[in-house]
């Protein structure tokens, strides 16, 4: 089955009644966990972005605490898993401020990880890639926010 275009879907949704739309959303939420998470964000958490960011930070903290530090192999797998989680939550929000703040937080947590990431090329590269991507995203923000986040990035670079 070929999927319809976004334009066609939008047109069809605009023709439906509100009860039909509710039924469609509920049916959609049953199929994938990500659909349900996105609906949860849109319905409950999108109004309070600060609380959303804090809840993600708490989850990231828990994930970093649970990292198996017995070898760099397990650390890399766990760090990539955390990064996928953060990227998924960033897709829900679609706000650059949220993305920048979460990436800076991730980089800070990664930098303080023991044993240090300097001992592993892959972990160092993940850190550098996220740092450079965050620098690019900062340029899209308001000037005041750019300055604040730039200071945080310089602080992260000085830790290196």
Task: Give 74's pLDDT tier (boundaries 50, 70, 90).
Answer: very high
Query: Is residue 120 within 8 Å of 72, Cβ to Cβ?
Result: yes
Looking at residue 159, its pLDDT comes to: 60
Report DSSP letters for 12-70, one per residue.
Answer: HHHHS-HHHHHHHHHHHHHH-HHHHHHHHIIIIITT-HHHHHHHHHHHHHHHHHT---S
Q: What are the tens digits of pLDDT across the range 10-51?
A: 888 889 899 988 988 888 888 888 888 888 888 888 899 999
Q: What are the tens digits of pLDDT across the range 95-111?
A: 899 999 999 999 999 98
User: How far is residue 13 CA from its own chain's centroid?
Assistant: 29
Indicate whether 157 pLDDT > 80. Answer: no
3-state secondary structure 114-133: CCCHHHCHHHHHHHHHHHHH
Q: Can you give the pTM of this predicted structure?
A: 0.84
Indicate whether 75 pLDDT > 70. Answer: yes
Q: What is the share, in percent, of the chain residues with pLDDT greater than 90?
A: 36
Range 118-137 average pLDDT: 90
């Amino acid at each position: 089955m070929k999927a319809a275009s976004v334009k066609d879907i939008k047109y069809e949704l605009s023709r439906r009644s509100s009860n039909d739309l509710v039924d469609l959303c509920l049916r959609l939420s049953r199929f994938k966990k990500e659909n349900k998470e996105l609906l949860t964000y849109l319905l409950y958490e999108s109004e309070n972005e600060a609380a959303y960011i804090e809840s993600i930070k708490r989850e990231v903290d828990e994930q970093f605490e649970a990292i198996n530090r017995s070898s760099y192999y397990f650390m890399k797998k766990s760090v990539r898993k955390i990064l996928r989680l953060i990227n998924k939550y960033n897709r829900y929000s679609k706000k650059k401020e949220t993305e920048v703040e979460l990436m800076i937080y991730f980089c800070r947590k990664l930098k303080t990880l023991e044993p240090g990431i300097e001992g592993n090329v892959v972990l160092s590269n993940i850190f550098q890639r996220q740092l450079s991507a965050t620098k690019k995203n900062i340029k899209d923000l308001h000037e005041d926010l750019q300055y604040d986040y730039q200071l945080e990035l310089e602080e992260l670079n000085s830790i290196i």
